[in-house]
Amino acid sequence: MSNKYIEQNITDTLETNYMPYAMSVIVSRAIPAIDGFKPAHRKLLYTMYKMGLLNGDRTKSTNVVGQTMKLNPHGDAAIYETMVRLSRGNGSLLHPLVDSKGNFGKKYSSDMAYAASRYTEVRLEKICEEIFKDIDKNAVDMVDNYDGTLKEPVLFPTAFPNVLVNPNDGIAVGMASKICSFNLKEICTATAHYIKNKGCDLKKYLKAPDFSTGGELIYNEAEIEKIYETGKGSFKVRGKYRYDKKNSLIEIYEIPYSTTLEAITDKIIALVKAGKLKEINDIRDETDLNGLKIAIDIKRNADPDKLMAKLYQMTPLCDSFNCNFNILINGRPRLMGVKEILDEWITFRQECIERQTAYDKEKKEHRLHLLKGLREILLDIDKAIKIIRNTEDDSMVIPNLMQGFGIDEIQAEYVAEIKLRNLNKDYILKRTEDIRDLEEEIHFLELILSNKDLVNNIIIEDLKRVGKKYGKDRCTEIITEEQVLTVDNEEMIEDYNVKLFLTRENYFKKITLASLRSASEQNLKEGDEIVQEFEINNRSEVLFFSDACCVYKVRLHELNECKASALGEYLNNILQTEENEKIIYMMPNHDYKGMMLFAYKNGKLSKVPMSAYETKTARKKLINAFGDKSPIVRAMYIEKDEDILLVRDTDKAMLINSELVPLKQTKGSQGVQVYTLKKGSELTKMLFAGEFDAENPEYYRSEKIPATGHFITDEDKARNNMPRQIGMFE
């Protein structure tokens, strides 16, 4: 039996199979709606509302989770995680919605796990009264739950823009949402002013985002303006600290909302181990019931403010919050700025108030209708009693009352249901006194339904009331960029001198002077020897020239320190050179001043300014660092022009001043002919004049190039132990 395959257009397959899933995730799970809630939040809170937990005592979280499963079929673990995030104990929200008792973990810690639901208790916070305001008055649409046995709200009729008060983030399919939180008082004030004047400057009232974990927001007006206008952008929040001078102790007690204390401490520990934060002696997590605290013991001579500036730059202690205000509007995701969000929320809230007003009007009209029927009975109570008493058939009581008093069936039904003890003039008078009040109330409700300004006034009054009742001071302090102490890259690198060693076998050592003083005897690989050594500052850069005409640039502070007893690090591994490539010269550099001299076997020399190796970008490898037409004899750095000695084979030498060699701006220059060589001869050495011990150095001097040099005297050969090779390269 052969398998049958049906060819399908991939776009049709995606549309049929993938798009429904994608839309389900977007609409039903990940993206919040204009009320500020995702479906999981809404199902949980509505269940708690129906359980009477708005005004009642706390109940076990397990009980709530179990009841919520009637609306949310995604399992108890997911429901409880949602509850944890909404709880006061967890601290994720500026205004928690769940009043919790027990261990609910902490937003600022990834290691503090929350207790199982059987151990914790919950009820709704008082602010939820504003979340559910008039929900039982047809303020929002109700839909069937997943099995059609219960009703649940599509949205909550929140009396304030909760969508901007509590943070929210979610990842859907092909899109994501990340909404920061704002201070409740500021949001209520800003929204009220915006309703009155759409052209108002929101930044005047809504200063900046605010987070439950506090910290300091570094205010950038352009970025805040961009977020308010487009819904996208980022801003930086950093932690807060205090310094105990007596104990040389820094205490960090607030951190950015988007990170955790473990992420911060782990990064600091890693930097200390890497030797990049030598001011720190110890770091401890001292978080307790009083709140978060990271304690850092620092050296007595350390500057706490500069150290903290380093930590802000090198660790998550200063973190960016990237805004992406994607919100569901009528089932469609929309990226909106703060003004657009407020526009949509105001429209939504207007609809809620109009629906609730229509509901109240209908109820009051019904009540008025009944009372007007009762008023007719007041005209002749005895007649009513006589009609009921003389009616033989029970089904004829209502029709007979309708006919006797000229009232309709609903009014007659209401009169007929009055208890016998209430069929007195006093009772009926008291009931009918409400007619005038009801007529006035209905008239006012009709005015509201016909006048948007009255609806807006109700919204504004609600906002003022909520802001006054539940508002609190900002948790996140606003600071300007001018208040931020910055430490440039140079200052962040420790300032001390080290000694560098390069061996013939390409081993490299970076040793502190203190370490050298305690043990200076160098341990080398058998047969190896040191060919270069320098003392230089740790902030410098080191250039390694290779025989492949490349130069490798390394920041010295990035290289590991070692002891004299160690073999050192193999440069080919550090620099990731090509196979068989060898480093021929090491040049520590700090300011790219001076020149490089290159001597080649063909008798040519090239002189290149150090500035030719300076790059604007942090490139670590430069090719064509010097000429490649002839094998290199030696590379050397000179600060300014000076005398050098060139040796041909082992019999001739020539002393010249490097000023005879023209300076070439192109680092790959092939050089100029300095030595006139006979067939079979080659330049074998280039030495500083002081490296060659001569009875009469001027004997070898040439004032012009190219030149043939002078034969080395027997006395000078003996002085320099020739024909043994001198210098690095043999």
Active site residues: 119
What is the helix (H) or strand (E) element at residue 647, kind and residue range?
strand 643-648
DSSP 234-297: EEEEE-EEEEETTTTEEEEEE--TTS-HHHHHHHHHHHHHTTS-TTEEEEEE--BTTB--EEEE
CA distance 239 to 319: 9
CA distance 624 to 594: 19
Q: Angle at the Cα of 295 (from 294 to 297), degrees rounded to 5?
A: 150
Signed CA dihedral, 152, 153, 159, 162: sign only: positive
Angstrom CA distances, 607 to 603, 635, 655, stand at 14, 10, 16
CB 500 within 8 A of CB 533: yes
Dihedral, CA of residue 90, residue 96, residue 102 and residue 104, to nearest 10: -20
Dihedral, CA of residue 47, residue 53, residue 57 and residue 58, to nearest 10: 40
- Residue 691: closest CA among 641, 640, 657, 644: 644
412 CB neighbour count, 10 Å cutoff: 22
Alpha helices by DSSP H, listed for 379-408, are: 381-390, 397-405
Cis peptide before 304 (omega within 30 of 0): no
Signed CA dihedral, 377, 382, 388, 390: sign only: negative
How far separated are the first and last CA of the chain, in Å rounded? 78
CA distance 140 to 135: 7
Q: Write the burial class of residue 228 (CB in 10 Å: 0-12 exposed, 13-18 middle, 19+ buried).
A: buried
Instruction: Report residue 554 as tokens.
Output: 């390394």
Signed CA dihedral, 463, 466, 471, 477: sign only: negative
Instruction: Please give the distance of CA 516 from its chain centroid, rounded to a whole number.
Output: 44
